[in-house]
Amino acid sequence: MRYLFCILLFWSFAVAAQSEVELDSLVEADQAAEADKRIHQLFQHLAGNGETGKLPDYLEVYGRIQLGIYDKKSAILKVDSQIVNWDKTLTSPEQHKDLWRAAASWYEYLGLLEKAYRAQVKAYDYAKKQPNVSNQELGMLQVNLGAYGVNRMDIPAAKRHLAEAQKLLENDPDPESIYRINSYLGSMAYFASRLDSAEYYYVKCIHALEKTESTPRNSFYRPALVYNNLAGVLSGQGKTSEAIASMNMTIEKLVAYVEVEKDPSLRLSAREFYFQALDNLGGAYKGLGNYRKAQSLMEFSYHGKKAELSEESKDIRLSEIILGQLYFDQSEPEKAKNIILNGLQGLQNTEGSFLDYEADGWYSLARIENWFGNEELAENHYRMAHDLFKKIFGDEFDLVYLGFLKDFSTFLAEKNEEKEAIRIALEAYTYVKSNLGKSNLIAFEQELNIGEIYLTVGKYDEASKWSRVALNTLDHQFSNTSTLLDSLQNERYKPQAILLGTKSRFLATSDHPLNELKDIVNELEDGLKVIERRKTFLDSEEDKALLITENAAYFGFLEQLYLELYRKSPQQEFLARLLILHESALYQKVRTRLDQVDITRFGSIPATFFAEENDLKSRLRGAIAHESGGIEGYLKAISDWEKFLQKARMSYPEYYQFRYATLDHTYIDIWERLPAEATVVRYMLVGEELVALVLSKETKKLHFFQLDYHKVTKVLAIYQQEWNNKTKTFSNLNELYKGLWTPLAAQIKTQRVLIIPDGGLFNLSFEILTPGLISDYSQLRKNSLLAKNSISYHYSTLLFSYSGQPQSYKSNFVAFAPGFFDEMKEDYLSTVKDSLQIDRSYLRLIPQPFTDRLVDQLKNLLGGKVYSQKASTLGHFAEEAGKHRILHIGTHAESDNLSPEFSRLIFAKTAENEENSLFAKDIYQMDLSSELAVLMACETGKPSYQPGEGMISLAHAFNYAGSKSLLIGLWKIDEEASSKIASRFYEYLAQGMAKDEALRLAKLDYLSLAQGRSLSPEFWAGLITMGDSSPIALQPARDLKWLFGLGLLVLLAVFALFYRKKKKVFFS
């Protein structure tokens, strides 16, 4: 999304007179007619005393009074008429200047930026006629005109006015002038994509403001503007954490300003800016992948704008466009399209020119229509956006425009419109090269884009040539860096160029000899060393997430090549490497999530170990950055780090293996880690193909199977929507069996099967697959995989044996079940003071009465403690959830497949600002040690591009936090059915059964009793087990009533014995 920049308009009106404050008070008290009467008396008084020069000071309050009496259109006409009358009455150029400056401020207050700009032009023209007018005053007026140009996205006009302002103000040592000119230079540098310069100028602005007079505007409002713009610059540089900190500073300053500012118009202006800052902060969180936080902020801003601003406000339309972009990124294209169209239509009915908003809107619609496959509409929208961008920027480009040109040229290349695609890509590259030089990362990205366009249109030699050009650009960039750390940061882009070059070579020929394929593979393997080298030196979580995202295509292509090698020469080593590479993407995600939290525990490892680890990492990064010690300091830091890794390998092998071991070493142990008496099936999506590997401890061989992915995908896309159509569902289940199970069935020789799915298969419960067509759901009891196999799941062959948590427990069982009953929601609402702060998603959660009853039954069966309804808070969970053999969580959940670390479990909410979401990323910091964590969570999330990612994230988080296995739902599960199955599941566990077999029998019991619709797999098949399926050694539950009775009997016996002894003593 486009970042929303602000340039401050520099007004210097006198402080409002007491009469103006009184008039505003009357308007706020709904006494606008009385205020109108008094202001006309004031006008007569000023005219009668020859003080007509003071009339402009009251223009804005006069306008606000008219708004209190008439509709907006009539009020504007009233004020326009007054301006014309005063323009005839006033005599000196200074008075006319003040009038038109006041008019500009009034029109800006209404959001009429075009009229405000024209009024400011008149003010400047009159100012030039003033005798002895200062350069500072003229410069201030020119800065205002430039600001209007930027806010209207009339960049040529902005440049013209601000260049004139620079001439007028450049020699003025006053902090005001320094602030103004650097504000201008910063904004212009940003729009020209010179981000380092923009950051430099904005920092100078902050320093200048510290030297200005201490007023609310200088202390709060102006710094908020600078921090807002600085955040946009930092975001463009990839410094997302710093950008968020800067945006939070903006919001903090604005809140402080609104609290002290008395002028209603200035308070409203600050509120408008506040909503804009929320949009920008939402955009920053979107960049991090926290879509839930981004949506919460942007929707809060949108509702706030609709509640407080005029219906014609451009800011409301902007919210609709950026929300549409966010919805599209979350796989809601229809919703996105509708709200963006609404925003564009609203802009057409809003006075003024908002070309940048329109360009962004049409750009987004083009992407949406392309997603729908409507190429003609998509091209039309792309061209509309392109025309608008050209009107805005002329011969210049900002980062958003460069991004648009990349997408547009790629779209044209995919349509095989080669000439235009290349022309547009070269146009952007030429601009970057001319203005920024060719040895920089922006130039590299443009070169890469040109190469990828040639690759798309089949010009493989040209694509290969541009990959070499891009690599040369990086080499020049490396030669200009001052530290190894800078080189490592720049080196992150190298794998992309290697990928382009190797892909070009591979696609240039249809049939490669084995040795030639090996050469291409070796080049890609060398590139992996670059990726491995960068891991240690990444500090921010966004950089680590980016490392994975950027190189997903790299790993994917290398996998395809190993698959090709296996087909040409079926050797186990090629399959083994294919498996390692495929697991490594997930493995790196897992490690990245660990790096995003402050690790304070891992089994029994002491805190001093982690302190040493962090200290050595900091010293290593400092040495690489040449901060201390020179080359000797660097070599010493490397040596100390290697010694630490050796110590970790010897003293804490599980931690080392999980955190630092290379994947090559990890693969050696796979056979030993395989569960006994079970067959492991690993499904893998490799490019556009689906393959399966079957492993077992007995054979120690990788059995390879090619599957019909196209046919399977068609069924997977629709089978959950067709539960009510039995005929289609029976066919779907049989087709999935034939596509996914029949090819490998001969190699599955055990009753227990452990499945590791991939992609869309994470949404499939394999037990419902049927070897033949059935005619009724009840037949699943005997004619399905459920009848034959105990099936459990996992997410990686590399993480089977992960453990490391203490094995002593406080009790058999603890449960958390919020219930989400209406009474709880009413109590929560009673604590909310600001309606905009209401958590509406919490109020929409469906009550869970069956879960509430289930946990009480389980307490009687297993003992332990239950936290239900209002007691089931996040705070109680954090304090009490760990060290129980079974941790039961019956709540609602959101599985976030776009940003898995933000998958969450929802707890009771009892106060306005109480946090009630437990995110996957936060679970890593908890001690949830247990034999089994049961997530009886009704899924409330949305489908997305990466099926299963959210579930993996939750499952792994619980594993790391100490839960050896999980019972979890694949999709939205029926509460009543799942409660019945869970009840039987727990009974079988209490009898000592393995978890996978206990769940299988519980489901078979359910099917034997269920009737009608409840037999459909939609109701019951979503529950699965993940992880260690071995039995749980439960302690016998103690009946507290029986214990109380026994204690009472013992106590009575003691009293009786004591009485007898006293009696004997008495008679003696």
Each residue of 167-226: pLDDT tens digit?
887 777 778 878 877 887 787 777 766 777 888 889 999 999 999 899 999 999 999 999
Whole-angstrom CA distances from 33 to 40, 66, 618, 861 are 11, 9, 68, 74
Q: 935 forms bridges with which residues in the sheet?
A: 889, 968
The per-residue pLDDT for 656 is 76
| Whether the predicted pLDDT of 821 surpasses 50 | yes
The per-residue pLDDT for 381 is 96
The per-residue pLDDT for 410 is 94
| Whether the predicted pLDDT of 545 surpasses 80 | no
The per-residue pLDDT for 25 is 79
Q: 949-1006, pLDDT tens digit by residue?
A: 556 667 777 887 888 899 988 887 788 999 999 999 999 999 999 999 999 999 999 9
* 8 A C-beta contact, residue 187 and residue 7: yes
Least confident of 489-503, 836-850, 872-886, 963-977: 836-850
The per-residue pLDDT for 1020 is 94
Whole-angstrom CA distances from 203 to 198, 206, 289 are 9, 5, 28
The per-residue pLDDT for 322 is 93
The per-residue pLDDT for 940 is 43
Q: Which residue has the higher pLDDT, 21 or 668?
A: 21
The per-residue pLDDT for 1065 is 46
> Per residue in 631-656, is it b (16+ CB within 10 Å) or e — as a string?
eebbeebeeebeebeeebeeebeebb
Query: Coil, strand or helix: which one is 463?
Result: helix
Report the C-alpha gap between 547 and 491 in whole angstroms: 11
The per-residue pLDDT for 658 is 61
The per-residue pLDDT for 477 is 62
Q: What is the dihedral of CA 337, 341, 347, 349, to 10 degrees?
A: -160
Average pLDDT, rounded, for the chain: 83
Q: What residue type is assigned to position 717 of the chain?
A: A
Q: 322-354, pLDDT tens digit by residue?
A: 999 999 988 889 999 999 999 999 988 877 678
| Whether the predicted pLDDT of 384 surpasses 90 | yes
Share of the chain above pLDDT 90, in %: 38
Q: What is the DSSP string of 190-226?
A: HHTT-HHHHHHHHHHHHHHHTTS---HIIIIIHHHHH
Whole-angstrom CA distances from 64 to 143, 603, 975 are 26, 66, 56
Structure tokens given for 563? 């698959």
| Whether the predicted pLDDT of 595 surpasses 70 | no
The model's pTM is 0.69
Report the C-alpha gap between 316 and 452 in whole angstroms: 38
Q: 298-330, pLDDT tens digit by residue?
A: 998 998 888 888 887 889 999 999 999 999 988
Q: 939 forms bridges with which residues in the sheet?
A: 893
- pLDDT band per the 50, 70, 90 thresholds, residue 15: very low
The per-residue pLDDT for 549 is 59
Least confident of 308-317, 826-835, 988-997, 1043-1052: 1043-1052
The per-residue pLDDT for 179 is 84
Q: Using the Cα atoms of residue 158, residue 160, residue 163 and residue 165 in order, give the sign of their dihedral.
A: negative
The mean pLDDT of 494-523, rounded to a whole number, is 92
- pLDDT band per the 50, 70, 90 thresholds, residue 497: very high
The CB-side HSE value for 37 (13 A sphere, CA atoms) comes to 5
Q: What is the DSSP letter of 134?
A: -
Q: 901-954, pLDDT tens digit by residue?
A: 677 888 988 876 678 888 877 887 788 889 999 988 665 443 343 445 556 667
Least confident of 370-384, 607-621, 842-856: 607-621
The per-residue pLDDT for 1062 is 53
| Whether the predicted pLDDT of 1068 surpasses 80 | no
Contacts of 482 (CB under 8 A, 6+ apart): 626
The per-residue pLDDT for 542 is 42
Q: Which residue has the higher pLDDT, 380 or 9?
A: 380
| Whether the predicted pLDDT of 624 surpasses 60 | no
The per-residue pLDDT for 541 is 45
- pLDDT band per the 50, 70, 90 thresholds, residue 534: low
Q: 558-578, pLDDT tens digit by residue?
A: 999 999 999 999 998 899 889
The per-residue pLDDT for 618 is 76
* 8 A C-beta contact, residue 321 and residue 343: yes
The per-residue pLDDT for 284 is 80
Report the C-alpha gap between 305 and 354 in whole angstroms: 18
Q: Which residue has the higher pLDDT, 260 or 665?
A: 260
The per-residue pLDDT for 629 is 54
Least confident of 338-342, 529-533, 752-756: 529-533
| Whether the predicted pLDDT of 1039 surpasses 90 | no
The per-residue pLDDT for 432 is 82
The mean pLDDT of 613-638, rounded to a whole number, is 68
Q: 398-414, pLDDT tens digit by residue?
A: 777 888 999 999 999 99
Q: Which residue has the higher pLDDT, 450 or 547?
A: 450
Report the C-alpha gap between 679 and 901 in whole angstroms: 30
